[in-house]
Structure 1
Amino acid sequence: MELPSFDMLLFLIAAGFVAAFIDSVVGGGGLISLPALLLTGLPPGMVLGTNKLGGTLSSLTSTASFLFSGKIKGKLVLALFPLSFAGSALGTYSVHLVPSTFLKPLVVTMLIVVLIYTLLKKSWSGSAVQAPLTAGRTIGAAVCALVLGFYDGFFGPGTGSFLLFLFLLLGFDFVGASANAKVLNFASNIASLVSFFLLKSVHIGYGLPMGVAMIFGALVGSQFAIRQGSRYVKPLFLFVTTLLIGKQLWDLMH
């Protein structure tokens, strides 16, 4: 197993911590971790799988942190968890059959809609303990969990933003939405990671040090979000979503 140099190790640890800090709250950590792994010289397929190792450790830590804080609505996410898992596994398999580039224009459009809607809506109804879901909203949430799980396994950018937005629409505040979104993000990450392991596209030597740093980043980020509340989460959500839009537009133009 090839190990990174000392300088590269420090770089991956720093990048992993920052990426997980952001990802634990609003998603979008891949904006940092993926370019960092690309700089190691690993093949793109190996980069995606190695990044999923760190992302899985990060989302597991965030999920545990939010769970102990009482921010997660257990019955809802337990029902949606297997749908997100199954969708991601199917998406990861499909990416080897169908090119994902055709999704980029659609993703940019959806992210812009999410950004504009969030900016225009002055306040979100809210607490993490919201009213019982109607049958229609439950079915809608189930479909979204399956589709977003597939999207995460198939393409990925913006999944955290879309999941957080889903829970906002279900009546959660920003912190509650972030907490419950991380559970589904963990489901899609672990399914995708297993698929990448089976395809032998995970580099443990690079992924494990970065993943350990991401555990600490996720722990600090989730605790900071819990203490600071929506006044911290909402601006970061808008900032990261704007960066995601810019990144996807840049990719489209180049």
Structure 2
Amino acid sequence: MHTEPLLEAVFQLGLGLIALVANALSAFAGGGAGLVQLPALILLGLPFAMALATHKLASVALGLGAAGRHWREGSLDPQLTLVMIVAGVPGVWLGAHLVLAIPDRWATGALGVLTLGLGLYSNRRPELGQEERGHQLSTTQRIMGGLGLFIIGVLNGSLTSGTGLFVTLWLVSWYGLSYTRAVAHTLILVGLLWNGTGALVLGVLGEIRWDWVPMLVLGSLLGGYIGAHLSLQRGSRLVKRGFELLALVMGISLLIRSV
């Protein structure tokens, strides 16, 4: 009996399961797939740069999986979509070029503190993101909103993990979206365009573990669809609780990793 092909098949199924769980959680709570999937790839033996590039490429499928469910609901706002593209994508491009200059331990610790802060901030404001506020922004507020997305884009390209949570909370607190609609924007635009940009830059600068990509992509597609479906079915209140719990767990895990 040849055990090598069997072990490889089990390993590939394990990759798919990791991707499915990570991306289902992310699609439900509005970000955080990288805080599960990226460390798993590193623990499985990939160097940081290769794990990062491989994760970014596979995460594009999360956007595709979520888009398939959210698109039918008409969840995206055209003007906000344009702002997220124009302001966020250049930030991701810049961050992906800067990533190798940032000490990993410092970046991980900083992201852990910020992620914990996001969860606590949301928890302290029970009304946050429960319904659309639909307020009109002034020109200055629009510029500040775009600048915020640019900065988060830089973090997305460089710190890589969990920045989707930042986008979700920014869309809720600054633009007045409900959690459900904010998650839709995060999954589709961050998943497809921001992560696609990061994967392109990091793929050119570094290496991708191509034989791991197919199962990671399959798991991301299924997880993205399942998480988006649960998000739409359960409503903003449960999505808010999921966001806060995920931010808490991931913030603590990042702080532990940074020690």
CA distance in 1 between partners of 2:40 and 2:206 (Å): 20
Of 172, 176, 179, 1:171 maps to 176
Structure 2 spans left out of the alignment, 5+ residues? none
- Shift of residue 129 of structure 1? 7.5
SS in 1 for 2:238: helix
% identical equivalent positions: 22
- Shift of residue 149 of structure 1? 0.8
- Call closer, same or farther: CA 1:107–1:197 in 2, change over 3 Å: closer
Of 87, 91, 97, 2:95 maps to 91
Scaled by the length of structure 1, the TM-score of the pair is 0.90
Matches within 5 A, 1:15-34: 15-25=18-28, 26-34=30-38
SS in 1 for 2:100: coil
Are 1:110 and 2:124 counterparts?
no
1:249 alignment counterpart: 255
- Call closer, same or farther: CA 1:123–1:150 in 2, change over 3 Å: same
Query: Where do 4+ consecutive residues of structure 1 move more than 4 Å?
Result: none
Opposite residue 231 of structure 2, the aligned amino acid is: A
- Call closer, same or farther: CA 1:5–1:250 in 2, change over 3 Å: same
1:57 alignment counterpart: 61
**Contact 2:38/2:52 (CA < 8 Å) preserved in 1?**
yes
Are 1:239 and 2:242 counterparts?
no
Matches within 5 A, 1:136-147: 136-147=140-151
Scaled by the length of structure 2, the TM-score of the pair is 0.89
Residues 108-167 of structure 1, C-alpha deviations (whole Å, 9 max, x = no match): 333233222211112126545723322232112101111111111111232011111001
Residues 30-63 of structure 1, C-alpha deviations (whole Å, 9 max, x = no match): 2321233224322221111111111111123223
CA distance in 2 between partners of 1:62 and 1:20 (Å): 10
Are 1:132 and 2:136 counterparts?
yes
CA distance in 2 between partners of 1:127 and 1:231 (Å): 9
SS in 2 for 1:14: helix
- Call closer, same or farther: CA 1:142–1:27 in 2, change over 3 Å: same
**Contact 2:114/2:251 (CA < 8 Å) preserved in 1?**
no
Of 182, 189, 195, 1:189 maps to 195
SS in 1 for 2:44: coil
- Shift of residue 182 of structure 1? 2.2
Structure 1 spans left out of the alignment, 5+ residues? none
CA RMSD of the aligned region, Å? 2.1
- Call closer, same or farther: CA 1:108–1:98 in 2, change over 3 Å: closer
- Call closer, same or farther: CA 1:31–1:97 in 2, change over 3 Å: closer
1:81 alignment counterpart: 85
CA distance in 1 between partners of 2:23 and 2:154 (Å): 22
1:158 alignment counterpart: 162
- Call closer, same or farther: CA 1:96–1:128 in 2, change over 3 Å: same
Give the paired residue count. 251
CA distance in 2 between partners of 1:98 and 1:122 (Å): 36
